């Protein structure tokens, strides 16, 4: 079709899919969030005897054959399998049909932070034992990040823009934001977007252990992820995927789709400060939120909810708190700010997508998920973090923050579906 390069087109969400430590599917995830239930537990994938951290947010109920044909499972690393499961859920809910008429205008953008670490470790051991004799021909296609969107594109016949965003813990939000931009500008009519990660391996966990980034609360894993709490001691590694179906609003209405929410702003920038630490006083994050509001010509005083990056790290939680206060001033105290990582753990490249899906669900259900494990207030973190219990809330405007190593920042703005 002829492209309508109009920067002001509206973009809506029509489908969601979730694979997390809280469960596979929207219902399991939302029920766990509202109950304030943690998905964190002992690591089962490898022997953690000599590891100072012995727990993570593993996905425990995902069955690949529920979502992927048997002949294709062996061609996909676990992160791709999760991405496929989330995409199928989202496509079913959306009802979007990809045909010869629209295939060139439907894109697939999936954020992946690390990629196929499971496949790398497995095949490295095989290589050491047998050199080239037993390396699978699927080794490279299984591990590279862009095969998450690639496999989804092949599955559904989507021939539009197809790529993976890789920006550490902001990867999923970057994918959603860039898909939003492409639809808004007329380069796409719809997109399957989101994020995926599956890096709970001996080397993956070992790398973060070496950085001293992980919590070591082995006596109580469910209480280990405690964003904004004074006793936080690091993040909890996790895995999973989320998929969102984005569409140009008029096209979605014309085909009778149920609109779940509207994306109304997006911004991305860099701290240009440090490879792992946030910029002092959250300067980069504050500028990113401000630019997101400006992008959508949004009133800061209408923001009722922020799904925080909130990783449960000493520096990061303070920096995000400072950033929110810089942007919103006195209104910051009236905003509900929760970190759902307190329940899921930190899913790395998938986090922004999973938490964007949670933000849409919060808008739809008029309820805000809690920050669990909040027991000891930190004087440097003094906002309303929705401690321990979900609450009803009419959300006019919500932001989703994501920040990553290398100083990369993203903010995406969502609001309820409206008729006009």
Active site residue 309: yes
- Reading the block at residue 114, the tokens are 């690390």
Report the distance separating Cα 286 and Cα 89, nearest Å: 34
Token pair, residue 339, equals: 């970190």
Phi–psi pair at 367, nearest 5 degrees = -150, 145
* Chain Cα centroid distance, residue 225: 17
- Name the nearest CA neighbour of 203 among 143, 116, 111: 116
Distance from C-alpha of 369 to C-alpha of 362, rounded to nearest angstrom: 7
CA distance 109 to 241: 13
CA pair distance 182, 157, nearest whole angstrom: 19
Rounded to whole angstroms, the Cα distance separating 90 from 88 reads 5
CB-side exposure of 131: number of CA atoms within 13 Å? 0
239 neighbors 57 (Cβ within 8 angstroms): yes
Q: Is 169 tagged catalytic?
A: yes
Q: What is the DSSP letter of 405?
A: T
CA-based nearest residue to 117, from 168, 77, 81: 77
Q: Kind of pairing, strands 367-368 and 391-392?
A: antiparallel
Query: 344: closest CA among 16, 13, 18, 15?
Result: 18
The catalytic residue among 118, 174, 292, 309 is 309
Residue partners of 250: CB distance under 8 A and separation at least 6: 9, 10
348 neighbors 199 (Cβ within 8 angstroms) = yes
Kindly name the residue from 174, 292, 346, 381 that is annotated as catalytic: 346
Q: Could you identify the residue written with the tokens 């590279």? A: 144
Tokens (6 digits) for 359: 């933000």
Encoding tokens for residue 309? 């990056």
Helices 26-35 and 351-365: crossing angle in degrees, nearest 10, is 80
Catalytic residue selected from 169, 288, 292, 381? 169
Coil vs helix vs strand at 297? coil
Closest to 223 (Cα-Cα) out of 233, 208, 210: 233
Residues catalogued as catalytic: 169, 309, 346
């Amino acid at each position: 079709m002829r492209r309508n390069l109009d920067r002001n087109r509206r973009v809506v969400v029509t489908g969601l899919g979730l694979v997390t430590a809280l469960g596979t599917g929207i219902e399991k995830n939302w029920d766990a969030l509202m109950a304030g239930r943690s998905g964190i537990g002992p690591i089962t994938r490898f022997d953690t005897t000599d590891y100072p951290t012995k727990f993570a947010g593993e996905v425990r109920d995902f069955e690949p054959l529920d979502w992927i044909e048997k002949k294709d499972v062996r061609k996909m690393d676990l992160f791709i399998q999760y991405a496929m499961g989330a995409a199928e859920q989202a496509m079913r809910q959306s009802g979007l049909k990809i045909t010869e008429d629209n295939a060139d205008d439907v894109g697939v953008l999936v954020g992946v932070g690390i990629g196929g670490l499971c496949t790398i470790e497995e095949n490295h051991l095989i290589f050491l034992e047998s050199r080239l004799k037993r390396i699978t021909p699927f080794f490279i296609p299984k591990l590279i990040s862009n095969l998450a969107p690639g496999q989804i594109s092949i599955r559904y016949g989507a021939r539009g823009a197809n790529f993976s965003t890789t920006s550490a813990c902001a990867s999923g939000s970057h994918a959603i934001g860039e898909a939003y931009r492409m639809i808004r500008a007329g380069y796409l009519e719809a997109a399957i977007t989101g994020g995926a990660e599956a890096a709970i391996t001996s080397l993956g966990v070992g790398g973060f252990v070496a950085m001293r980034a992980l919590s070591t609360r082995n006596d109580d894993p469910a209480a280990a992820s405690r964003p904004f709490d004074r006793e936080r001691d690091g993040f909890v590694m996790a895995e999973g995927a989320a998929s969102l179906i984005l569409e140009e609003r008029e096209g979605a209405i014309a085909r009778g789709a149920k609109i779940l929410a509207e994306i109304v702003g997006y911004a991305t920038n860099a701290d240009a400060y440090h490879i792992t630490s946030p910029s002092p006083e959250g300067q980069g994050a504050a500028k990113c939120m401000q630019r997101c509001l400006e992008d959508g010509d949004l009133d800061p005083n209408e923001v009722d909810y922020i799904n925080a990056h909130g990783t449960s790290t000493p520096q990061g939680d303070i920096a995000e708190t400072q950033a929110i206060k810089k942007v919103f001033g006195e209104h910051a105290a009236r905003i509900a700010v929760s970190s759902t990582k307190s329940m899921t753990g930190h899913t790395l490249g998938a986090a922004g997508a999973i938490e964007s899906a949670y933000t849409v669900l919060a808008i739809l259900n008029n309820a805000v998920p809690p920050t669990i494990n909040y027991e000891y207030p930190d004087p440097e973190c003094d906002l309303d973090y929705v401690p321990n219990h979900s609450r009803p809330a009419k959300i006019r405007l919500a932001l989703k923050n994501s920040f990553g190593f290398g100083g990369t920042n993203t903010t995406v703005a969502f609001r309820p579906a409206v008729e006009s």
